[in-house]
Structure 1
């Protein structure tokens, strides 16, 4: 007798060139997403790299520029951080009115354990010069930006304070294995609490500068533009907004009367999640969900659940609302912006009880 084949979930594909695929978030049952299901966000095609001939330059406003081999980097004291990485365009397709861009649903988010050397360690060895303001990290991925009709590498900067944060790391492992190539191998910047555009993949070089960085992925993209018709009052995308997602039941699912477990995840870019509330009457009343104990530390999401005893048939709108240790609460409506970043309105699904 043949054993039944194990059925496995797949990434949800939005585009192939460049490859943009999201995590099937409803199938994620633990706090570490396996690399095959980790969401993929690219601006260009994948670069060509050789691990054996890989060198990392650190230059700019430093007293002792460095050129480090992978062997050098592996010699420094390492640390492991569990970090949620969320694309700033996560949930973009929920904005009303709609915004242009990759129409991410709820799965442009994943997390796991990243191991590497603190960026601070390397910057201190190179000797940060007086007046240093930002640290620029350039990736190996590049391509044509049609809006500017020029070829650019993917390059971003961090304020010097964020670059020196103890848990901002140059990672070389994900979940105890070398970082998968599609997620930044051999070296990826990991910036906890910020949207994932800051966590530059396939690092090519690091430069310390004493003026603001003005590359297009810093000053055109990843900016909040609050006005539809002009670029006034724009400000940069940085820390992750407080958010939650209902994983079960699914939107527009049919279920039976009886006891059902509503479950999901919640996360924030500031502090930790302190409360998750559930409404099964479209926000008229709220009850506290149970937050999985022992996981509400660091920079990851928390899993939560709520037992729902359904006795009456009909249509229900279930909502989830998170609160963090800084008193931030998910809003009823998201902050609308022209490029569709940072969606974090109260999550909701509709179900029919038969």
Structure 2
């Protein structure tokens, strides 16, 4: 759907630190430009001097090393086309409501990331026996609301995920240097996992022989199914199977006739194989047409369904996706008190006149 006389805007959720949604309802290209890529920050942007930028690779390794940007650029590179989704995407839809940035549907974007496989750097340093995780620290730091001390944004990956060929230390996005607000000069990219794993402004990489227990690993980005206790808690990792209805939008008023219902579907682990649509609040379902367009793996796919609105009234439209491992969007999300991983059947209400 072209918009020749207007440009969409990011939707502001917060400015200090900056958190902005992508206008996914109004951008057609499969590759999200840097201009419209969502922004998720925990602290203010860091101060960096790229011409003195080196990163250490240390910890449980045989050959601790420092690597410069130039040395990194000279290593073999790969490009991975991947969707990044904030773990809090759709948080505003939880019932009962949860605290945190009230993201709607736009805390997600996708594009082409180019860089060096993390495993190449780890192999250069030599992983010692007994290693279990790789800890990546970002240059962004500040005070959390639960502590008076400053901390850096730091996350760890299991060694198996860190060694996956698609896990990158990236330096380019859509064939241009990664924009500063998205992690320049180096950003970790962990396809298939929620965006919290893709640490921006990499400061150092450390191989660890024990699990990392920093606050962004063990306090945040954890599913807490109980409101008042930590019982049953488990970590946020791969993106859930999900879908979003983009057109029509919620509370649209439509004329009678044929309308095309359009949207996106995605999963962190498997390819989407089916999207079902209901125009009567789940009483009956029909299968949408998938537009794979040669894309699979870490991309969302677009889908569409022609609906003949033959009579006036109010209608509830639902979308439900299924991936290749037979994971299906649930009718209700896993409620958790930090509001992560919302993936209930998507819903919009429209009126036909």
Which band: TM-score by shorter chain? over 0.9
In the other structure, the counterpart of 1:129 is: 128
Residues in 2 aligned to 1:187 and 1:237: alpha-carbon distance in whole angstroms: 23
In the other structure, the counterpart of 2:334 is: 335
In the other structure, the counterpart of 1:305 is: 304
Residues in 2 aligned to 1:114 and 1:107: alpha-carbon distance in whole angstroms: 20
Residues in 2 aligned to 1:65 and 1:74: alpha-carbon distance in whole angstroms: 19
In the other structure, the counterpart of 1:345 is: 344
For residues 191 and 140 of structure 1, do their structure 2 counterparts lie closer, same or farther at Cα, with a shift above 3 Å needed? same
TM-score normalised by the chain length of structure 2: 0.98
In the other structure, the counterpart of 1:64 is: 63
Q: How many residues end up aligned between the 2 structures?
A: 351
In the other structure, the counterpart of 1:107 is: 106
Kindly provide the CA deviation profile for residues 63-83 of structure 1, in whole angstroms up to 9, marking residues without a partner as x: 111211111001111111111
> Which stretch of structure 1 is more off in the superposition, 331-340 or 19-28?
19-28
Residues in 2 aligned to 1:293 and 1:198: alpha-carbon distance in whole angstroms: 26
Residues in 2 aligned to 1:152 and 1:6: alpha-carbon distance in whole angstroms: 45
In the other structure, the counterpart of 2:157 is: 158
Write the mapping of 1:241-280 to structure 2, written as runs, cut at 5 A.
Answer: 241-280=240-279
Structure 2 unpaired stretches of 5+: none
Structure 1: 4+ residue segments shifted above 4 A: none
CA contact (8 A) 1:272 1:296 kept: no
Residues in 2 aligned to 1:167 and 1:16: alpha-carbon distance in whole angstroms: 32
Write the mapping of 1:1-354 to structure 2, written as runs, cut at 5 A.
Answer: 6-354=5-353
CA contact (8 A) 1:278 1:319 kept: yes
Residues in 1 aligned to 2:327 and 2:45: alpha-carbon distance in whole angstroms: 38
Residues in 2 aligned to 1:235 and 1:293: alpha-carbon distance in whole angstroms: 33
Deviation at 1:6, TM superposition (A): 3.5
Residues in 1 aligned to 2:308 and 2:91: alpha-carbon distance in whole angstroms: 32
Deviation at 1:25, TM superposition (A): 1.5
Deviation at 1:150, TM superposition (A): 1.4
Residues in 2 aligned to 1:325 and 1:124: alpha-carbon distance in whole angstroms: 33
Residues in 2 aligned to 1:185 and 1:296: alpha-carbon distance in whole angstroms: 27
Structure 1 unpaired stretches of 5+: none
Query: CA-atom RMSD, angstroms?
Result: 1.1
CA contact (8 A) 1:139 1:153 kept: yes
CA contact (8 A) 1:295 1:302 kept: no
Residues in 1 aligned to 2:336 and 2:148: alpha-carbon distance in whole angstroms: 25
Kindly provide the CA deviation profile for residues 89-145 of structure 1, in whole angstroms up to 9, marking residues without a partner as x: 000010000000001011111111100000011101110011000000000000011
Secondary structure (helix, strand or coil) at the match of 1:73 reads: helix
TM-score normalised by the chain length of structure 1: 0.98
Residues in 1 aligned to 2:192 and 2:76: alpha-carbon distance in whole angstroms: 22
